[in-house]
Structure 1
Amino acid sequence: MPSRDFKRTDRVGAELRREIGLLVHAAVREHALPSVSVSDVEVTRDLDWATIWVTALMPEKSAEAVKGLKLLAPEFRRALSRSMRLRRVPELRFKYDDSVDRGERIESLLRANPLPPADEETDQADEA
């Protein structure tokens, strides 16, 4: 039997990402939360837990946004149970994804300290 490329958890995670993305977008407007977007969803093998990774437009307000989303998690789960065809909708955990912030910080450091072009390095080595 050929192996399946996509596991069930991957398919459920992708569907959860779509649905939760819409719910989070609506919650940001309704509850005046800082602007966030869903970057990834990881689902455990037994489908009991789903970790939702979010990124914030303003990183300094990320803690406030994640706190608000954690309070709204039961409401999101109830909405998901109505919109998705699953026996049991996983418990939702919201976490902040700081990879975008780290990438921007590295990029700003590289811009501040640019490397010399390769030609200048070889010229300096020849003079020494």
Structure 2
Amino acid sequence: MSNIRSNRVAEQMKKELGDILSRKIKDPRVGFVTVTDVQVTGDLQQAKVFISIFGDKQQKEDTLVGLAKSKGFIRSEIGNRIRLRKVPELSFEIDETIEYGNKIERIIHDLNDEQ
């Protein structure tokens, strides 16, 4: 039962985080960010937010620093939007799967061109 609830909370948080990060965060360090996934623990105490960041390595690091500084504001916004007893503690991680998929696709494309 808690697994179903944590999945629902994760999906709702993903939707709300996308809106918060695109409209409410005014930190100049935070670049173009897309929330790709949110994983919430069964007890709803912690949430791991996977993000995709457009830019080079330095811009990605700056964005992570900006998001870390904005955690309190982001949690309060989520608390205002979602009815939870306690808003989960957030941790942001860069989702490399899109870049990894593009790299594999380029390799396959290059191999096909050679043949």
TM-score bracket for the superposition, by shorter chain length: 0.7 to 0.9
Does the alignment pair 1:106 with 2:66? no
The amino acid across from 1:35 in the alignment is F
5+ long unaligned stretches in structure 2? none
- Higher radius of gyration, 1 or 2: 1
Q: Which aligned pairs between 1:58-73 and structure 2 lie closer than 5 A?
A: 58-60=55-57, 61-73=59-71
Q: Percent of pairs identical after alignment?
A: 26
Residue by residue, what CA displacement relative to the aligned partner does 1:45-74 show, whole Å, maximum 9, x if unpaired? Answer: 110000000001225322221221111111
Contact 1:34–1:56, Cα closer than 8 Å, also in 2: yes
Residue by residue, what CA displacement relative to the aligned partner does 1:96-127 show, whole Å, maximum 9, x if unpaired? Answer: 000001011111111112174xxxxxxxxxxx
CA RMSD, Structure 1 to Structure 2 (Å): 1.7
Does the alignment pair 1:15 with 2:12? yes
Contact 1:59–1:101, Cα closer than 8 Å, also in 2: no
TM-score by length of structure 2 reads 0.87
TM-score by length of structure 1 reads 0.79
Q: Assess, with a 3 A threshold, how the Cα gap between structure 1 residues 27 and 110 changes in structure 2: closer, same or farther.
A: farther
Residue by residue, what CA displacement relative to the aligned partner does 1:15-60 show, whole Å, maximum 9, x if unpaired? Answer: 10111111111255x2222211100000001100000000012253
Of the candidates 77, 80, 83, which is equivalent to residue 78 of structure 2?
Answer: 80
Provide runs of 4+ in structure 1 moved above 6 Å.
Answer: none
Match of 1:37 in 2: 34
